[in-house]
């Protein structure tokens, strides 16, 4: 039998089976030459072999493919501490965070006149959807804009439907109330919107600093922003990661 002898590595349901040899111009099957697998025959298609030779994506899972993603939405009047705290905390933890302006990218004047830079508009950021978490900082004026945004409303609706995380703090939970999202769940908010959030029996209102109910995490205000951010971290990456981060940040 003539042909070009090629040596390569291959994987199968039996695990990594070592170096295999084949003649490229034949249809014959391969024999595992790793004695740990008792010479189990392995069949590989030509196309799979070609891809294995030309790309490593079947042998290695990249960090980018594994990284969790979060979308933080800001707008004019959003609260500074409630925005920067989850952005900073999650990036420290290795989450890929996108900061999107509700209506546009660029400079955004926050509730205390601190200027934030939105990396993308919400519309442009959604080209990278879905996100593992969508995060809404508070601030009364910013929350009002969230309530009125039909685009954000559809994004939140889809996030809930898919079972992915939504995190809202301060007055931002009113954007959920407006669209009857997460009905029946436990949540909290800033006291200034407590009466509104309690109306109609839509939610089980709590006064805890951070309330976690499945894929909804809510909190009360600027003073609870770090606890809220660490709760988001724990949801995405596990409690051990959140505890390590909390220790490194001297949060406790």
Give the pLDDT confidence score for residue 252 in this predicted structure.
79
Q: Does residue 147 lie within any of the structural domains?
A: yes
* pLDDT classification of 216: cutoffs 50, 70, 90: very high
Judgement on whether residues 50 and 107 belong to the same structural domain of the protein: no
Instruction: Tell whether 184 and 94 lie within a shared domain.
Output: yes
Mark whether 27 and 113 lie in a shared domain: no
In the chain, pLDDT over 90 holds for what percent of residues? 73
Annotated catalytic residue 170: yes
Q: Same domain for 77 and 164?
A: yes
Q: Are residues 88 and 193 in the same domain?
A: yes
Active-site choice (29, 37, 38, 170)? 170
**Residues 164 and 244 both lie in one domain:** yes
Cβ neighbours of residue 117 under 8 Å, at least 6 residues apart? 99, 106, 107, 108
List the CATH number of the domain containing 112: 3.40.50.880
Residue 24 lies in a domain: yes
102 and 198 both lie in a single domain: yes
Q: Note the pLDDT of residue 152.
A: 98
217 and 191 both lie in a single domain: yes
Question: Do 150 and 73 sit in the same domain of this protein?
Answer: yes
Domain count, the chain: 2
Greater model confidence, 48 or 172: 172
pLDDT at 58 over 50: no
| Mean pLDDT along residues 49-58 | 42
Q: Is there a single domain that holds both residue 32 and residue 105?
A: no
Domain end marker among 32, 54, 76 = 54
pLDDT tens digits, 222-245: 999 999 999 999 999 999 999 999
In this structure, are 50 and 70 located in the same domain? no
134/228 same-domain check: yes
Work out the average pLDDT over 47-76.
62
pTM more than 0.85: no
Q: Which domain holds residue 130?
A: 64-248
Q: Give domain status of residue 109, yes or no.
A: yes
What are the angstrom distances between the C-alpha of 246 and each of 67, 92, 204? Answer: 20, 11, 29
In a domain, 59, yes or no: no
86-115 residue pLDDT tens: 999 999 999 999 999 999 999 999 999 999
- Kindly state the average pLDDT of the residues 141-150: 98
Active site residue 44: no
* Phi, psi values for residue 96, rounded to 5°: -85, 110
Radius of gyration of the chain (CA): 25
Asked, for residue 39, whether it belongs to a domain, the answer is yes
Q: If you average pLDDT over residues 190-207, what whole number do you get?
A: 97
Q: Which pair of structure tokens corresponds to residue 184?
A: 């029946």
Comparing 49 with 197, the larger pLDDT belongs to 197
Task: Share the mean pLDDT of the chain.
Answer: 82
């Amino acid at each position: 039998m003539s042909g070009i002898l090629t040596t390569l590595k291959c994987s199968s349901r039996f695990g990594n089976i070592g170096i295999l040899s084949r003649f490229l111009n034949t249809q014959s099957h391969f024999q595992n030459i790793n004695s740990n697998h008792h010479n189990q025959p392995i069949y590989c298609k030509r196309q799979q072999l070609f891809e294995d030779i030309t790309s490593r994506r079947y042998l290695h899972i990249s960090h980018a493919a594994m990284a969790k993603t979060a979308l933080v939405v800001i707008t004019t009047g959003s609260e500074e501490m409630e925005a920067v705290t989850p952005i900073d905390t999650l990036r420290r933890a290795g989450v890929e965070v996108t900061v999107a302006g509700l209506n546009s990218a660029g400079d955004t004047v926050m509730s205390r006149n601190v200027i934030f830079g939105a990396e993308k508009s919400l519309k442009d950021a959604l080209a990278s959807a879905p996100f593992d978490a969508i995060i809404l900082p508070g601030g009364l004026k910013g929350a009002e804009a969230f309530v009125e945004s039909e685009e954000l409303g559809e994004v939140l609706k889809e996030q809930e439907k898919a079972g992915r995380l939504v995190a809202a703090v301060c007055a931002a939970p009113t954007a959920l109330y407006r669209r009857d999202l997460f009905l029946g769940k436990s949540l909290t908010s800033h006291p200034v919107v407590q009466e509104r959030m309690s109306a109609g029996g839509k939610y089980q209102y709590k006064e805890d600093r951070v309330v976690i109910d499945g894929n909804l995490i809510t909190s009360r205000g600027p003073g609870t922003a770090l606890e809220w951010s660490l709760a988001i971290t724990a949801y995405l990456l596990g409690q051990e990661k959140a505890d390590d981060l909390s220790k490194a940040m001297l949060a406790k």
